[in-house]
Structure 1
Amino acid sequence: MVNRGYVGEESRMSQQNILVLVDTAIIATNERLNINGKSRALVDRKTKRIYIRGTLPTMPDDGETPTKRYWIPFTDATLSGVAEAEIKCREIDSYLNAGGKEWWSLLPEFQEKKSEASKPKPASILKIEFENSYWLSREKTRKTLNTWEKSYSDIFLKIPDDDLLTETNIFKWIEKTQPNSKPRHDLIRVVKCLADHIGIKDEIDWKKFKCRYKPNKRSLPTDGYIEATFDNMAPDVGWSFGMIATYGLRPSELFQLTDGELAQFTDPSNKRHILYVPEDTKTGEREVYPLHPEWVERFDLKNVFRIKTSSSKLEYKISWLNKLFHKAGFNQPAYDLRHRYAIRATELEIPVDIASKWMGHSLEEHAKTYQKWMSITTFNKAFDKMMEGKGEASELKRLRLENAWLREEIERLKALIK
């Protein structure tokens, strides 16, 4: 027990006299702690601070040896501080004797930090922490920065900075989006990422936030419509339109083509009209072949005529491109030209593994993405091709049988002549 009589005396004594009393108390404390000679945590003093010292299991990131000599700052050098340190030493010894290892978790400083870390943080802080964590394992390139912006940064704007990440607030955020829409689907995905980042993902009932989003089905432009639309376009708009249609480019990739890639494309030695897409794009470097090859000449693609825009942001350039296409009579998203390229590859019987490489997809992603765009017209073409093949096979079989009969007849006639 601490002698309460000291409490009033401390205010009247000089600092030196207080430290003498503190040292005396420390000696007595350590005698009690180490009465059996097995205590691993004792009390000590340096200047005006009480320390807990001992050879203890090594703390994380503090070396590879199993134990280490520690001097842990604990509290001010007062008699009450010595009493508190004695209690903490007994607590540490009991913990270690029971098989515990993380003795530092019993220290006030650690517990304060843990308590501070467990306090809910506003969304503004969570967004910053998540972004810092995101870039720890990624290099910042044009491609990765564009992915971050579209997949996270833009969606973060729908999460109020001052709100906490709670089920009530999540419901409030999601309720502001249309049911089963892409914005709702994307928001739920990002909120899950934030929840996982701070370790509460499993504590939230995500079933109440279900979103059955499916892209709206729409008809893709026919090749005839593409050609007719091109004929009414200005040269710069027509060149961009023709490049996306002929090579199935993402609209963003059109703006990422460098002078070097375009020089390779227009080189007279490039007889197959191969287009080289740069590495710093969504799916990296690849070679793309034209479908249809005759469109290279039809759309005058070797005569490079890029549209001019003052915007430096990729999304704004793409938005401007779509507006130019609409103004010229193409009333569909520019991305539909890329979808049409994928379907055209199927109609022209390009093997799916090759088509997926031309478009910068895995085989699985290619099939998953583009099967839903195949219309009844595409299915009819495939069926008609199959029937045409069967018809050709039947005719060939008939000719072979007829040929075999004629050979036999010739041999019979030869025998009669002899």
Structure 2
Amino acid sequence: MPRNPSQQVSFTTELAQVNTRLKVARLGLQLEQRGQKLNLRGIFPPKPDSHRLVPHQQRLSLGLPATPPGLEMAERKAMEIALLLIQGRFDWQPYLSPIKHLGPDATVADQVFAFQAHFFNQPPTLGQRSTWSTAYRPYFRKLEALAATRKNISLVELIYATIQSTPANSRSRQACCTAMQALSQFLEIKLPLPLANFAGHYSPTRTQRRQLPSDTEILHYYKQIPNPAWRFVYGIMATYGLRNHEVFFCDYSGLRDQEPEAVIEVLDTTKTGGHQVWPFLPEWVETLKLYDINLPTVNTDLRTTTLQRIGQRVTQQFSRYQIPFSPYDLRHAWAVRTIHIGLPDTVSARMMGHSVAIHTRTYHRWITRRDQQQAVTAARQRWGVLQGN
């Protein structure tokens, strides 16, 4: 947001004061405002793609906003760069746009590789590896495969062709659009048609109309699991409605200490961030022996694995023990149980680690049935009062 005139004067004064300090220190560098960003101006070695052979006056983009906090960071950065210049160790690489290293003959594979390097050079985020392996890599492989067979069309045309190779109104179509949007933004490609036009109307949040396991069935199949560690995983998912991978990223101290509420906390390591969960049904904590924390040995180091792979281990064990429903059916059953019990949707959504909007769409038919039943019950009660019953 643009600053008002008084703020601009104040910032201009601060910028001048910083440059005075840099000049007194004889660092040979000055900060300047260009638009809403701060640049550094001074004598730098030639850029890697330059025809110049000796250091000369150049600008270096710091990528910092022209604000007082940005100015404070820029002054520290100027001092760091000045030291590198004095020591002869300055390198342009961290300050150049990744796409500038891609020459005119760069292949689609080269461009995807540059995006991958850029993606993993960003500050690490939770689930970063999972995002790359599931949301990006499969669709970039499609793009590269098309490029290998259709050599005479542009990258923009290849992007649209890749999207149209996925089923319309599908989850994969939406994911492909997301991946292609990220790549085109990275490569600074202006697409003539917004990719949102191709995404379709798929909604991944509406639970399919299938028969969820009853509480009796859930307890029955719990007893069929011979391995106590995987039996614990099953019991935790059934009682707390956790996602597959969340089981391995929880604070179980409430259970371990046998606290009356038996609340567990899903840690920030998961994609949805930390949140607390209460047991439903509470009596299952004892019935399923959940006070005895007993997790199986699974690699949870996200530097070498992904949340998706961890979740797949749970799915594989369900198949191994011939459980006739998926791990996510335990989660859905937990959610429906809270609906029948009358837990407010806002509370249930928070415990499940998603928004109320997603909760409402996912469990629409059960929530609708509950609300209708409550309305019918209230109407009958009113009618009974009118009839003197």
Specify the TM-score bucket, using the shorter chain as the normaliser.
0.5 to 0.7
Larger relative CO (CA 8 A, sep 6+): 1 or 2? 2
Distance 1:247 1:154, change over 3 A: farther
**TM-score, scaled relative to structure 2:** 0.62
Q: What does 1:155-170 align with in structure 2 at a 5 Å threshold?
A: 155-160=139-144, 166-170=155-159
| Alignment-mate amino acid for residue 383 of structure 1 | Q
Instruction: Answer yes or no: is the 8 Å Cα contact 1:229–1:328 preserved in 2.
Output: no
Once the two structures are TM-superposed, the CA of residue 140 in structure 1 deviates from its matched residue by: 1.1
1:291-347 deviations in Å (ceiling 9; x for gaps): 111221222211223233468634333223112213334333312322232222222
Once the two structures are TM-superposed, the CA of residue 251 in structure 1 deviates from its matched residue by: 0.8
Q: What does 1:267-416 align with in structure 2 at a 5 Å threshold?
A: 267-268=257-258, 270-309=259-298, 313=305, 314-368=307-361, 370-372=362-364, 374-375=365-366, 379-395=368-384
Does residue 1:266 correspond to 2:250, yes or no?
no
CA distance in 2, matches of 1:118, 1:204: 26
Does residue 1:238 correspond to 2:237, yes or no?
no
CA distance in 1, matches of 2:286, 2:140: 45
Once the two structures are TM-superposed, the CA of residue 277 in structure 1 deviates from its matched residue by: 1.1
Q: Who is 1:109 aligned against?
A: none
**Structure 1 spans left out of the alignment, 5+ residues:** 1-56, 77-113, 403-418
Distance 1:195 1:231, change over 3 A: same
Distance 1:170 1:146, change over 3 A: closer
Once the two structures are TM-superposed, the CA of residue 201 in structure 1 deviates from its matched residue by: 3.9
CA distance in 1, matches of 2:101, 2:222: 63
Does residue 1:173 correspond to 2:166, yes or no?
no
SS of match in other structure, 1:157: helix
Instruction: Answer yes or no: is the 8 Å Cα contact 1:141–1:280 preserved in 2.
Output: no
1:105-154 deviations in Å (ceiling 9; x for gaps): xxxxxxxxx99978374333333443455466x53144444344433245
2:109 to 102, 107, 124: 124
Aligned residues: 291
SS of match in other structure, 2:262: coil
CA distance in 1, matches of 2:130, 2:195: 28
2:214 to 213, 219, 222: 222
| Alignment-mate amino acid for residue 352 of structure 2 | M
1:251 to 244, 250, 266: 244
SS of match in other structure, 1:203: coil
Once the two structures are TM-superposed, the CA of residue 274 in structure 1 deviates from its matched residue by: 0.3
Once the two structures are TM-superposed, the CA of residue 249 in structure 1 deviates from its matched residue by: 0.9
| Alignment-mate amino acid for residue 192 of structure 1 | Q
**Structure 2 spans left out of the alignment, 5+ residues:** 1-31, 44-49, 54-98
Distance 1:293 1:180, change over 3 A: same
Instruction: Answer yes or no: is the 8 Å Cα contact 1:253–1:277 preserved in 2.
Output: yes
Identity of matched residues, %: 22
Distance 1:210 1:288, change over 3 A: closer
1:215-245 deviations in Å (ceiling 9; x for gaps): 4824133333322322322233322112112
Once the two structures are TM-superposed, the CA of residue 171 in structure 1 deviates from its matched residue by: 4.6
Instruction: Answer yes or no: is the 8 Å Cα contact 2:126–2:269 preserved in 1.
Output: yes
Instruction: Answer yes or no: is the 8 Å Cα contact 1:229–1:329 preserved in 2.
Output: no
Instruction: Answer yes or no: is the 8 Å Cα contact 2:156–2:191 preserved in 1.
Output: no
Does residue 1:197 correspond to 2:164, yes or no?
no
1:31-50 deviations in Å (ceiling 9; x for gaps): xxxxxxxxxxxxxxxxxxxx
CA distance in 2, matches of 1:224, 1:130: 50
CA distance in 1, matches of 2:128, 2:116: 12
| Alignment-mate amino acid for residue 226 of structure 1 | I
CA distance in 2, matches of 1:318, 1:334: 9
Q: Who is 1:26 aligned against?
A: none
CA distance in 1, matches of 2:51, 2:127: 50
Q: What does 1:90-109 align with in structure 2 at a 5 Å threshold?
A: none
Once the two structures are TM-superposed, the CA of residue 63 in structure 1 deviates from its matched residue by: 4.0
CA distance in 2, matches of 1:334, 1:185: 25
Distance 1:210 1:275, change over 3 A: closer
| Alignment-mate amino acid for residue 314 of structure 2 | L
CA distance in 2, matches of 1:120, 1:367: 50
Root mean square deviation, CA, Å: 3.9
